[in-house]
Amino acid sequence: MARGLKIHLPIIGLATLLMLPALFSPTMLRDSFWIDWVWSDQFTAELAVGHLYPRWFPLANGGAGSPTFYFYPPLAFYVSGLLGLIGLSTYIAIIGCFAIGLVLSGYTMLAWLQGTRRPLLGAMLFMAAPYHMFDFYGRGAMAECFAIALLPLVALGLRRASEKRPTLLAFAYAGMILTHLPLALLTSLFLIVPWCAWHREIRPYVLPLALAIAMAAIYLVPALALNGYRRSDMLWADPAYQARNWSLIFWSQSVVPGMRLVFAAILLSTLIPIVRLWLAGEKRIAYYAAGCGLIAAGVIPAIWALPLLREVQFPFRMMPLIEFAIATGIASASLSGRRLLVAMSPTLMLTPVFVLVHQQEKAPKMAWLEAFHPEVPENRLAKPLPWPKWPEQLGLVISLVGLAGAGTMAARQSRRKRQLA
């Protein structure tokens, strides 16, 4: 009991401390917060009338409707939607989803760090990492924040798959795809691929990853098959949404200056812990974090013009991977006293700024959101969706097959565990 309290109290206490400013500040509708509100409000309403997977929002655009969740992964919005169903207001349900994701990130990181020198400290650093907090308070990126909590589970799943326990990898990776596709893509390219390369094997991971993609087909198949029916070109029409323009080395005037400065500040803050980890002997983690940082900084802008990567929109979405590596290194390294404090100093200095300093300008009015439910331009239809909607049916069938395969895998893993016991 006492050991449980030593784990739960710090994680829940830190989450509460980090969330308090959001509870006492005026309603936040800047950046993506207003999108969270519009989508969560309609998602909850559709769940309330019995639509188990809401894809079409009839209230959007003043009643014209929107195919939002044919193209956007739904998992985080199930969380806010279920909170709305129990009676919370849409805005409080959104804050609740952020809070659940924050607490979950602490526990998933703690699970990943078991066996290190200071797993609880590493978990708390991951929770309070600067980009993690800016993603909430500065960007209002609800789905991305929730996906960050799944990142340690993907890493833990990779480790377990190498030990012939692949089930967690299948479910964790499926969950990330169903939460935030850009972060899932970056995790695939810059965590899963390096992991396989370092261990010089891919066989243990192929089946669980394939089953994960199959389980996520209920979202992926309609999103890919119907993408041509919406104004997806609007995702990259604005130069600020083109990843190659965000290079911190070769500056472009087309991106948001304030956001680029924040990105630069967060990325530069990783230098101190990376150097400290390298000096402490955690060279592999230091090289990995530094390499991800150089890619994110746009040292070679052409990388962000490659297929798939150009669709990530913002290179700063690499930051969760860098902060994950740094928190892992600090939990593992032989550091104590002043050296440990130096390694943690960027988080201790930068995170409070993002938590306590909020700007409200350029935010839409709540009355307008309630009356009109505006939609982002890329989710407007270029032509009517086809009928019958075979991609939904095909995606459901593939997901059920994937779920059955993952269930069989879990049963075999459980049986093997009993035999070994």
Query: How many independent structural domains does the chain possess?
Result: 1
Q: Is residue 183 part of a domain?
A: yes
- Mean pLDDT of all residues belonging to the chain: 93
Compute the average pLDDT of residues 308-321: 94
DSSP letter string, 207-257: HHHHHHHHHTHHHHHHHHHSGGGB-TTHHHHSGGG-GGGG-SSS--TTS-H
- The secondary structure of the chain in percent helix, strand, coil, rounded to multiples of 5, reads 75, 0, 25
Q: What are 169-188's pLDDT values in tens digits?
A: 999 999 999 999 999 999 99
Q: What is the band of 4 on the pLDDT scale with cuts at 50, 70, 90?
A: confident
Q: Is residue 6 part of a domain?
A: no
Closest CA to 122 of 10, 237, 213: 10
The answer, as to whether pTM is greater than 0.85, is: yes
Q: Is residue 206 part of a domain?
A: yes
Q: Is residue 10 part of a domain?
A: no
Compute the average pLDDT of residues 127-143: 96
Q: Is residue 19 part of a domain?
A: no
Q: Which stretch of 234-238, 314-318, 373-377 has the lowest confidence by average pLDDT? A: 234-238
Q: Is residue 3 part of a domain?
A: no
Q: Is residue 302 part of a domain?
A: yes
Q: Is residue 20 part of a domain?
A: no
Using an 8 Å Cβ cutoff, are 399 and 170 in contact? no
Q: Given this model, what pLDDT does residue 364 score?
A: 86
Rounded Cα–Cα distance for residues 277 and 130 (Å): 18
Q: Which amino acid is located at 104 in the chain?
A: L
Q: Which amino acid is located at 91 in the chain?
A: Y
Closest CA to 167 of 113, 214, 212: 212
Both tokens of residue 253? Answer: 């005037």
Does pLDDT of 136 surpass 80?
Answer: yes
Does pLDDT of 81 surpass 90?
Answer: yes
Q: 198 is in which domain, residue-wise?
A: 28-420
Q: What is the band of 2 on the pLDDT scale with cuts at 50, 70, 90?
A: low
Rounded Cα–Cα distance for residues 124 and 10 (Å): 8
Q: Given this model, what pLDDT does residue 85 score?
A: 98
Rounded Cα–Cα distance for residues 251 and 267 (Å): 15
